């Protein structure tokens, strides 16, 4: 029960890694508000986990700053304050990797990158009042994957690779925000998962490609959402009170940036 009583927001907590965060934090004694665009799924998740502790669901569109402000304020009021923010919501399971239009790039950026900033901005006034203020952003090892394999005979135009771009941006945003909030004792870190066994992954990446990526890990095996959630529980605990501005990669050793 490392997180006993810690008032926590998890965006995108209705399924996948987000749900694993909710489960682990409840098991550690936290109180959790699930903020999700899919409110029906979030409410179902909250109902299924109600026996583990205080958990409830609220609707949010992280790509809309007014929606973010309203949801975070309402969640913090219901929780009686805020200690931990897990910034997990993103476009991934329904990501369109071949859409290089400027409009789609704006959409991905608004949700995956600017959305995380908007949630942090809304949560910051509450976090600075907590003796245990923590922000955990969701990055990805896609941030370190720069190779594009495609046609070489004819130039197709400059690819945006929008998902990877936004995740690399989160790494920079994490460090910048850590410097801003450190004066008030709030730590800001990011977790960069590798190939994680979720429905979102299998719905986006071919199984043969997943097997290829897993084979590249020095530590073999398909990483589970609970493995990422355990990292978040550590970062939110008092054991990590002097760890800030860091990107923790959970990928079996596939990426080891200096």
Query: What does residue 127 show for φ and ψ, rounded to 5 degrees?
Result: -65, -35
Class of domain 7-250: alpha beta
Looking at per-residue confidence, does 11 or 96 come out higher? 11
Per-residue confidence (pLDDT) for residue 130, from 0 to 100: 98
Q: What is the DSSP string of 99-123?
A: ---HHHHHHHIIIIIHHHHHHHHHH
Per-residue confidence (pLDDT) for residue 93, from 0 to 100: 63
Maximum alpha-carbon separation in the chain? 60
Instruction: Extract the tokens encoding 70.
Output: 């309203």
Per-residue confidence (pLDDT) for residue 159, from 0 to 100: 80
Instruction: Extract the tokens encoding 31.
Output: 């109180």
CA gap 258, 68 in Å, rounded: 35
- Kindly state the DSSP code that residue 136 receives in the 8-state scheme: E
124-160 pLDDT per residue, tens: 999 999 999 999 999 999 898 876 656 667 877 788 8
The verdict on whether 163 is a catalytic residue reads yes
Q: 3-state SS string over 193-208?
A: ECCECCHHHHCCCCHH
Region of poorest pLDDT, from 56-65, 70-79, 157-166: 157-166
User: Would you call 46 helix, strand, or coil by DSSP?
Assistant: helix
Percent of all residues in the chain with a pLDDT value above 90, rounded to a whole number: 72
What are the residues facing 118 on neighbouring strands? none
CA gap 203, 207 in Å, rounded: 9
Region of poorest pLDDT, from 110-119, 160-169, 240-249: 160-169
Per-residue confidence (pLDDT) for residue 4, from 0 to 100: 97
**Where is 87: in which H helix or E strand?**
strand 84-87
CA 26, 31, 36, 39 torsion: positive or negative?
Answer: positive
197-252 pLDDT per residue, tens: 667 666 666 777 778 788 888 998 888 999 999 999 999 999 999 999 999 999 99
Residue 234's CB is within 10 A of a number of other CB atoms, namely 15
Looking at residues 89-104, what average pLDDT do you find?
Answer: 82
Where along the chain do its domains lie? Answer: 7-250
Candidates 21, 126, 144, 163; catalytic one: 163
């Amino acid at each position: 029960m490392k997180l006993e009583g810690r008032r926590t927001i998890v965006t995108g907590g209705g399924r996948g890694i987000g749900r694993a965060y909710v489960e682990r934090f409840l098991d550690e004694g936290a109180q959790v508000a699930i903020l999700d665009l899919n409110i029906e799924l979030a409410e179902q998740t909250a109902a299924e986990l109600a026996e583990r502790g205080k958990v409830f669901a609220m609707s949010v569109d992280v790509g809309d700053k007014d929606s973010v402000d309203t949801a975070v304020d309402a969640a913090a009021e219901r929780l009686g304050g805020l200690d931990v923010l897990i910034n997990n919501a993103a476009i991934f399971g329904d990501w369109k990797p071949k859409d290089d239009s400027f409009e789609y790039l704006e959409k991905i950026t608004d949700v995956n990158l600017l959305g995380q900033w908007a949630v942090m901005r809304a949560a910051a006034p509450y976090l600075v009042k907590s003796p245990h203020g923590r922000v955990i952003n969701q990055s990805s090892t896609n941030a370190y994957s720069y190779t594009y394999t495609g046609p070489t005979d004819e130039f197709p135009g400059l690819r945006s690779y929008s998902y990877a771009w936004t995740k690399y941006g989160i790494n920079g945003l994490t460090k910048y925000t850590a410097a801003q909030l450190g004066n008030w004792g709030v730590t800001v870190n990011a977790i960069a998962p590798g190939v994680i066994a979720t429905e979102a992954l299998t719905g986006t990446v071919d199984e043969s490609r997943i097997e290829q990526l897993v084979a590249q890990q020095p530590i073999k095996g398909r990483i589970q959402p609970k493995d990422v959630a355990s990292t978040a529980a550590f970062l939110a605990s008092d054991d990590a009170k002097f760890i800030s501005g860091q990107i923790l990669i959970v990928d079996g050793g596939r990426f080891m940036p200096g």
